[in-house]
Structure 1
Amino acid sequence: MTTHRKLRLANVRIINGTGAPPVEDGVLDVTPDGAIGFAGPAAEAPQVHGADVRDLRGRTLLPGFVDCHVHMGLSLANGPFHALQNDPALTVLESAARLRATLEAGVTSARDLGGLSSGFREAIERGLIPGPRLKLAVSPISHTAGHGDMHLYGGTITPTVPELIEIADTVDEVRKATRRVLRQGADLIKICTTGGMGSRHDHPDDEGLRLDEVRAIADELDRHGGKPIAAHAQGRKGILTALRGGVTSVERLGMELPPSYRQFLLFANGWSDADDEYCLRSTATAGWLRDLEPWFVAYCLPEGHTPRSVPDELYFV
């Protein structure tokens, strides 16, 4: 947001997102370049001259929300046939309307995990359309008949935009697909290591990309600045493949797993550098870890390792 002069929002309740009590009778100042210059009690606010002062009459201000999994380029109006049944200009404008509605709902940053081209991100940055700050995966990578394969039966027609689908079935193909997605301007790579609820040719428990393919994608991204990997993974085997392959986040996690497993994955994925002794000592303080079955791999990292270089040895709790 850029203003021509300083903006002051007065008579507001401010929630700063830190867990501190709300600030009643607060003031928030926005500088001409869109930065927050002050946020706090009115009694502590600096003097301003020539500012645009707006009385919000006790309304509440809080930091913008972050939505980490959206698909702004996809519509449920006609299911997977929407792009076939409507003019391309209309589908673009529908995406722009969803972006605006998302921003107006309070989401100021969003991670779109497939279906939105980089042009929307640039349009928002240039002020052509309103919308949240975007991190884009552009085109998910899936194998043939996997979660990202939207072809109709017979394989000759796809009801979505072809350039927003990446189908790859070998290690070499996933490397090339990763490079193509990076060429499209992706901020991260979205992969499918299991099937899903909305795909025509598979089941959520089906396995998707193989471990060697996930590791090849991680290696390719390490060669291109270390951009993150988000994995669609619902079934147990695909979740483990994603973790062992070095993904940054697991999407749709836990539709099959008990709560203790889901909690463990969130707990474990928070580490970026921890040795075995520390990891095992830390788990002793987390009672829910004792309920894990033996097959469930404790994601413990030897000293000096990052999540993308987890050794093949398994550590069990």
Structure 2
Amino acid sequence: MYTEAAERERAFGLFALMWVVPSLVGPAVTSIALVLADWRVALAWPAVVLLIGRVLVSRALRALDIGRAEAPATVRGVGWFAGVALGLGAALVLLGLDALPPVGTAVIVTGLVVALAFPRALTAVVPQNRRLRAGAVAFALVCASYFGITAILPLVAAVAVDPSGVVGAVLVAVAPLGWALLSAGGVGARLSTRGAYHVSASAFPIATLAIALAVTVVEPGGRFPAIATPGVASLAAGVAMGLVYPKVLADAFTDFHEHPGESRAHGGVAMELGEGVGTAAGSIVVAGIGGVVVASFGGGELALFMVVVGAVIAVMFGAARRNPTWSG
């Protein structure tokens, strides 16, 4: 639909506006549910909203005149897609056991999905467009960094300042709010390809260091610094995502060539796969191991773990610096 890169960046940035209202309303409702009811209600109420949303979307789609192709595009590599889904699903189940051996197994399974099933699925769906496959990998790295950081924030808030979870809900809201406002403002569209790389490679490790600082330097009772320090981490991750998210999505489609059975719709599937795999992998590894570290050792070791996470993110971005998505 959008043939020019600048148009695609603006469009993807505007899509991020959908984050603004949920990022403000969701944590507020969750906080009220935590205070007035319990964590079960806090976890359950989004499911009701999801069902209502599905009904509203279905009604809206009926009002659209959608032209259907005589020969709808098919997605190849269904087996590899199933492998990704089953692998990540198994990892999430193991993560829920909240013990070191199952969580270690979950991390291994996630690694196998990322190293084996994910690239095979990308190759199956867009075999002729290497640049887009590289874009999906870069997108997965960005999403893994962002969602890994935001997944650990509620745990950090519970350890450092507020066991009830209310402050954690507020901190999580800061990141998507920053993401939405930056994306909607079109700042990312004015960022160079190399600039997007440098923002990602620096902002995400800085966010992890801010989290480590929150659980070491902050003394009990110092509520403002205890909230502000992880708040900086959340804001840094959100700002980075707001700048980079539309840029990576747009640049991945540069020089995209359509082939029989390989259209831009297939490219969209590949990019969404990258987003999904990165989101799941980052959350499983960072929040999963972080939870076990806190349960087994305590908050001090969590700070060391976050330093390691920051170092791993920096190394991964260093290894990806020659990815075609970043090199232009």
Is TM more than 0.5 here?
no
For normalisation by structure 2, the TM-score amounts to: 0.25
Give 1 or 2 for the bigger CA radius of gyration.
1
The structure carrying a bigger helix percent of its residues is 2
TM-score (norm 1): 0.25
Give the strand-richer structure, 1 or 2: 1
